[in-house]
């Protein structure tokens, strides 16, 4: 069978199979990341796509489909908080990338959710490595061929699940993305001060718009620098229903973010945060979380001069909520476990590292009531591992998303299997 057709058929077979029946997973060491902690020789009952029970003295329904996970490890599904999963197929092919904001028509209101492709090849690749939820985020870039450049405000980000059920959006418009620091400077005319001024002007316009929206809609003239759609998006930031995510690394820029967050009483999230450890106490006091790029922990530019390997440990020990993730990891979301492992090697506890790739990103996006831990009532996003998930060579045996056992095949695995065949005399392209 043609491998692309095989992949499609196999995916259909798995759609909703586990979610439609009761499943009992037995015998594993379960790291709940919740109040129950880690449980040896545990049983998990899944009913209707949710966790119905977890523990050692669990009654298994007679009609349950049993899964023996003896000597295995089970964790909550991994949560990739940044990136363009479902929005980018090949970075080098411009026509397959839909997450870059350019031009002045839309800034804060640029909604990449309208371009999300739930059948993207990247989704299958990511979820067989344990990624069950993802934050999809717009980003800024340099001028295109027509000279259109990005804005300080890149648009709206959302949370999606990577399963097969059609309600892909867990939380649409969860954040608005802003660019300060070096990136902000590059899109604001060459000065990070200009980027801050543009952001302040946008928030000030939104404040005025909130008070005078009815008059504005009646046609009364208001001198706003942003469109009504952008201002409507920023109203979500001002009323707290959406957070403002700042792409920023330098400590001095993070201090500016904290000042803006306090002045406008908004929820802020730091993304990147190479030097966040230098202002850890201030971040903790302001309850501002950090999505840390745990892979790029070297001083690759002047905004990351003080990057260090133990920054996650320093931040968490100061009381800061830390998740691991990077916008550049779209096609390598599995690097979440590598980031966590690096952090463990540099002062973070194993439990803290697991939380940083499961519960912490769910908390940051405000969806922790649904996912992030293995608890009764939550969506059954689970990963069965044959070994320590933070070890570099560990891969999932099986992934469940909303209680459904997803196909553990992707285009990559099918290509691997096809070209590993040695029992045929036919050239590789002609093997079945």
pLDDT per residue rounded down to tens, the chain (432 residues): 454 445 444 454 444 444 558 999 999 999 999 999 999 999 999 999 999 999 999 999 999 999 999 999 999 999 999 999 999 998 878 788 888 888 878 899 999 999 999 999 999 999 999 999 999 999 888 777 777 788 999 999 999 999 998 899 999 999 999 999 999 999 998 899 999 999 999 999 999 999 998 888 877 777 888 999 999 999 999 999 999 999 999 999 999 999 999 999 999 999 999 999 999 999 999 999 999 998 888 888 899 999 999 999 999 999 999 999 987 788 999 899 999 999 999 999 999 999 999 999 999 999 999 999 999 999 999 999 999 999 989 999 999 999 999 999 988 888 887 778 777 777 777 766
Q: Are 406 and 397 in contact (CB under 8 A)?
A: no
Give me the residues paired with residue 76 across strands. 382
**What distance in Å separates the CA atoms of residue 25 and residue 51, rounded to the nearest whole number?**
11
Tokens of 348: 């973070």
Beta strand ranges found along 150-265 (DSSP E): 153-161, 169-179, 243-248
Res 329: pLDDT? 83
Pairing of strands 131-136, 153-161: antiparallel
Res 152: pLDDT? 95
Res 157: pLDDT? 97
Tokens of 25: 């997973």
Tokens of 236: 């979500």
CB-based burial of residue 350 (10 Å sphere; 0-12 exposed, 13-18 middle, 19+ buried)? middle
Four-point Cα dihedral 303, 99, 186, 102, nearest 10: -170
Q: Are 359 and 33 in contact (CB under 8 A)?
A: yes
Neighbours of 412 (CB within 10 A): 12
Tell me which residue has tokens 């196999």: 10
- pTM for the model stands at 0.91
Res 9: pLDDT? 46
Q: Are 206 and 238 in contact (CB under 8 A)?
A: yes
**What distance in Å separates the CA atoms of residue 78 and residue 131, rounded to the nearest whole number?**
5
Q: Are 379 and 49 in contact (CB under 8 A)?
A: yes
Pairing of strands 290-292, 268-272: parallel
pLDDT tens track for 135-184: 999 988 877 777 778 899 999 999 999 999 889 999 999 999 999 999 99
End-to-end Cα spacing for the chain? 6
Res 108: pLDDT? 94
Res 432: pLDDT? 65
Counting Cα atoms < 13 Å in the Cβ hemisphere of 205 gives 21
**What distance in Å separates the CA atoms of residue 296 and residue 309, rounded to the nearest whole number?**
9
Res 94: pLDDT? 79
Q: Are 246 and 268 in contact (CB under 8 A)?
A: yes
pLDDT tens track for 345-363: 999 999 999 999 999 999 9
Beta strand ranges found along 9-130 (DSSP E): 23-31, 38-47, 50-55, 65-68, 73-76, 78-80
Give me the residues paired with residue 375 across strands. none
CB-based burial of residue 421 (10 Å sphere; 0-12 exposed, 13-18 middle, 19+ buried)? exposed
Counting Cα atoms < 13 Å in the Cβ hemisphere of 411 gives 10
Q: Are 154 and 99 in contact (CB under 8 A)?
A: no
């Amino acid at each position: 069978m043609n491998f692309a057709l095989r992949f499609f058929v196999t995916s259909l077979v798995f759609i909703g199979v586990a979610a439609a029946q009761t499943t009992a997973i037995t015998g594993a060491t379960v790291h709940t990341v919740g109040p129950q902690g880690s449980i040896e020789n545990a049983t998990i009952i899944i009913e209707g796509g949710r966790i119905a029970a977890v523990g050692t003295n669990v009654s298994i329904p007679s009609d349950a489909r049993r899964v023996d996970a003896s000597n295995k490890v089970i964790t909550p599904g991994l949560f990739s908080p940044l990136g363009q999963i479902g929005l980018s197929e090949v970075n080098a092919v411009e026509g397959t990338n839909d997450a870059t904001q350019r031009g002045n028509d839309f800034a804060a209101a640029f909604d990449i959710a309208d371009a999300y492709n739930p059948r993207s090849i990247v989704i299958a690749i990511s979820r067989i490595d344990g990624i069950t939820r993802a934050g999809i985020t717009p980003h800024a870039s340099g001028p295109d061929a027509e000279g259109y450049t990005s804005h300080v405000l890149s648009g709206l980000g959302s949370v999606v699940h990577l399963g097969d059920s059609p309600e892909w959006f867990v939380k649409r418009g969860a954040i608005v993305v802003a660019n300060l620091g070096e990136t902000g400077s590059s899109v604001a005319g060459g000065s990070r001060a200009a980027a801050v001024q543009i952001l302040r002007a946008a928030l000030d316009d939104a404040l005025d718009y909130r008070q005078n929206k009815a008059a504005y809609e009646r046609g009364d003239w208001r001198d706003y620098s942003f469109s009504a759609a952008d201002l409507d998006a920023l109203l979500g930031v001002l009323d707290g229903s959406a957070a403002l995510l700042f792409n920023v690394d330098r400590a001095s820029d993070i201090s500016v973010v904290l000042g803006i967050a306090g002045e406008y009483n908004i929820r802020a999230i730091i993304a990147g945060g190479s030097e966040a450890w230098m202002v850890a106490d201030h971040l903790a006091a302001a309850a501002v979380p950090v999505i840390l790029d745990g892979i790029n922990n070297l001083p690759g530019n002047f905004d990351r001069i003080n990057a260090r390997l133990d920054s996650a440990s320093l931040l968490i020990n100061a009381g800061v909520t830390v998740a691991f993730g990077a916008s550049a990891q779209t096609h390598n979301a599995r690097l979440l476990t590598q980031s966590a492992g690096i952090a463990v090697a540099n002062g973070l506890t194993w439990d803290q590292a697991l939380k940083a790739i499961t519960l912490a990103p769910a908390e940051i996006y405000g969806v922790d009531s649904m996912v992030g831990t293995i608890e009764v009532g939550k969506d059954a996003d689970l990963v069965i591992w044959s070994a320590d998930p933070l070890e570099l060579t560990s891969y999932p045996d099986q992934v469940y998303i909303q209680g459904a056992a997803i196909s553990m095949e992707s285009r990559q695995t099918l290509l691997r299997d096809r070209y590993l065949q040695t029992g045929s005399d036919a050239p590789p392209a002609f093997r079945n």
